[in-house]
């Protein structure tokens, strides 16, 4: 078997909200075309960590990164100030906790990223929209009403639309920030199945509070606490025999 | 998670209750043979259903906990280990019944000789069972390893019993039926010790998360 190759190398990453250090010396390899779950109690830094990957923190002043996140294969440091965050976000897309479609049609929601890139060729747009909607397992449900407002869709469909929108720019990494916490169990299991399917083509990092979800969808799990990675390893190892006492306490619900 | 902790400790108590029943059966089955005590053998056979009932009850409880509590890490290992341990315990109970049955048959005829090695085997098998269960309760890896090491003594004793009986059978074919029953008893005791070894191996998994079955002890 071929060893998993590395998609992103996190080296000595520190992150500060003003004077508050939210991430402490994080070192970890994100493996290509694998699902990596970030788990940990509220405030442990998992969402902060996730947001580093597409430079979300740049949207606020006084936020500061230290260290590097090296994106393979071209070895660019995606948190370097010399790298344009917009370029990073083309390659690394994010899906949020609550579905957040734009107040536009279904079609335009998916086409948005391409239009921003200056693509207006109708044929190209139609092709990419269909491919992305298929990729997000939504095509069959919306193909006859692409010109309808995105808000007409159910919550689960809206979330899959957001995934389609994220897929349209053909990203290398997809970031999911608790993507099913606002969805019912059926919509949740659709999203989970989709995540497992998507990893054939894209590297996925998912933040989740639902440990069963981490167990179901991910191959690697990182447990974070107080801004640090306490334990990182194969998901099955973390959930059957974690090495660290803190991990054990957290996943068995005996924390604190 | 206080409720879950309580459920787990109740589960542990049930497993120990089943263990205690089986320990007594192991003690009594050989005693009924050595002391030619038919009442003891019959009593033991009669109470085997208690072991079977606990087997089912504990199994159901483990399945319930897995379904409702989604146990993880050491909790998961405890419950899955528990499920496997009771399968071994139930088999050990059955083997003790088999020994009691052979004892009832043997008690109808004069004994061939004074039996020294059978009680010795019983003592080792009983000790292994008790220690394996203690190791389970206390998550004591060292004690579990010790149990696994003792399995060889049992095997050696069984072989010496069989070879001795073969000589006796050659001398006097009239004892063949009785000698075979005694060989069965030695075989059952050896199997009981094997099940105790299984339990000890599962304790290692419980403590370390590492499955050591079908490997050598030095690893």
Chain A hits for B81, CB-CB cut-off 8 Å, are none
pLDDT value of residue A55: 94
Per-residue pLDDT at B156 = 94
Closest partner residue to A239 (CB to CB) among B72, B208, B210 is B72
> What pLDDT, on a 0 to 100 scale, did the predictor assign at position B104?
97
By Cβ distance, the residue of A212, A238, A240 closest to B70 is A212
Tokens encoding A152: 């007409």
The neighbouring-strand residues paired with A16 are A21, A64
Residue B169 lies in a domain: yes
Q: What CA–CA distance (Å, rounded) separates B217 from B200?
A: 12
The predicted structure's pLDDT at residue B23 = 97
Look up the domain containing B54 and give its range: 2-208
Q: Per this entry, what is the length of chain B?
A: 219
Please list the rounded mean pLDDT of every run of 10 residues in chain B (219 residues). 88 96 97 96 96 97 93 94 97 98 96 91 97 95 96 94 93 94 97 97 93 73
Tell me whether residues A241 and B209 touch, CB distance under 8 A.
yes
At B28, which CATH number? 1.20.58.220
Do residues A15 and A23 touch, judged by C-beta distance below 8 A?
yes
CB of B71 within 8 Å of any CB in chain A? yes
Q: CB contact, 8 Å: B27 with chain A?
A: no
- The helix-helix angle for B117-138 and B141-171 (nearest 10°) equals 160
Chain A nearest CA to B192, separation (Å)? 29
How confident is the model at residue A117, as a pLDDT?
A: 86
Number of domain units in chain B: 1
Grouped pLDDT means (10 residues each) for chain A, 256 residues: 83 95 97 96 94 91 94 95 92 92 96 91 95 93 96 94 94 95 89 92 95 94 97 95 94 83
Choose, out of B5, B73, B76, the residue to mutate when testing the contact with A (most A CBs < 10 Å): B73
Sequence-distant (6+) residues with CB within 8 A of A205 are A30, A35, A36, A37, A38, A50, A53, A173, A174, A175, A176
In a domain, B142, yes or no: yes
Radius of gyration of chain A (CA): 18
Interchain pair A240, B4: CB under 8 A:
no
- B70:A241 CB<8 A: no
Residue B36 lies in a domain: yes
**A241 interaction partners in chain B (CB closer than 8 Å):** 73-74, 77, 208-210
How is chain A split into domains, by residue range?
Answer: 6-251
Rounded Cα distance, A201 and A222, in Å: 22
Q: Which CATH architecture has domain A6-251?
A: 3-Layer(aba) Sandwich (3.40)
Nearest CA distance, B116 vs chain A (angstrom): 45
Residue B55 forms part of a structural domain: yes
Q: What CA–CA distance (Å, rounded) separates A72 from A36?
A: 16
């Amino acid at each position: 078997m071929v060893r998993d190759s590395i998609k992103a190398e996190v080296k000595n990453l520190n992150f500060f909200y003003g004077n508050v250090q939210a991430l402490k010396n994080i070192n970890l390899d994100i493996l290509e075309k694998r699902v990596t779950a970030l788990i940990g109690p509220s405030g442990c830094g998992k969402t902060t960590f996730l947001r580093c990957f597409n430079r979300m923190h740049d949207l606020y002043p006084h936020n500061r990164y230290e260290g590097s996140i090296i994106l393979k294969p071209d070895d660019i440091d995606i948190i370097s100030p010399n790298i344009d965050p917009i370029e990073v976000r083309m390659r690394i897309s994010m899906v949020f906790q609550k579905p957040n479609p734009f107040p536009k049609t279904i079609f335009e929601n998916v086409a948005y990223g391409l239009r921003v890139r200056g693509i207006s060729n109708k044929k190209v747009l139609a092709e990419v929209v269909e491919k992305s909607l298929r990729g997000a397992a939504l095509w069959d449900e919306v193909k006859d009403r692409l010109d309808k407002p995105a808000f007409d869709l159910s919550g689960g469909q809206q979330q899959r639309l957001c995934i389609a929108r994220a897929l349209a720019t053909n990203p290398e990494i997809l970031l999911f920030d608790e993507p099913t916490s606002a969805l019912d169990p059926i919509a949740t299991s659709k999203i989970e199945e989709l995540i497992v399917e998507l990893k054939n083509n894209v590297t996925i990092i998912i933040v989740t509070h639902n440990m069963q979800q981490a167990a179901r969808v991910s191959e690697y799990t990182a447990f974070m606490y107080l801004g640090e990675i306490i334990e990182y390893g194969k998901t099955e190892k973390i959930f059957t025999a974690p090495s660290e006492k803190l991990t054990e306490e957290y996943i068995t619900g005996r924390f604190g | 998670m206080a409720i879950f902790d309580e459920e787990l400790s109740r589960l542990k108590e049930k497993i120990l209750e089943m263990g205690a029943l089986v320990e007594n059966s192991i003690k009594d089955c050989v005693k009924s043979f050595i002391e030619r005590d038919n009442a003891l053998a019959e009593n033991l056979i009669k109470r085997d259903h208690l072991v079977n009932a606990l087997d089912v009850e504990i199994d159901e409880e483990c399945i319930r906990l897995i379904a409702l509590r989604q146990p993880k890490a050491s909790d998961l290992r405890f419950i899955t280990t528990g499920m496997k341990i009771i399968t071994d315990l139930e088999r050990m109970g059955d083997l003790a019944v088999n020994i009691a049955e052979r004892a009832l048959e043997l008690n109808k005829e004069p004994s061939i000789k004074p039996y020294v090695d059978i009680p010795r085997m019983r003592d080792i098998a009983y000790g292994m069972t008790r220690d394996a269960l203690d190791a389970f309760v206390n998550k004591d890896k060292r004690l579990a390893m010790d149990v696994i090491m003792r399995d060889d003594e049992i095997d050696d004793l069984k072989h010496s019993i069989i070879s001795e009986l073969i000589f006796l059978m050659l001398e006097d074919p009239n004892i063949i039926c009785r000698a075979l029953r005694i060989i069965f008893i030695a075989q059952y005791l050896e199997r009981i010790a094997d099940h105790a070894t299984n339990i000890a191996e599962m304790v290692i998994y419980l403590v370390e998360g590492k499955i050591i079955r079908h490997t050598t002890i030095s690893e």
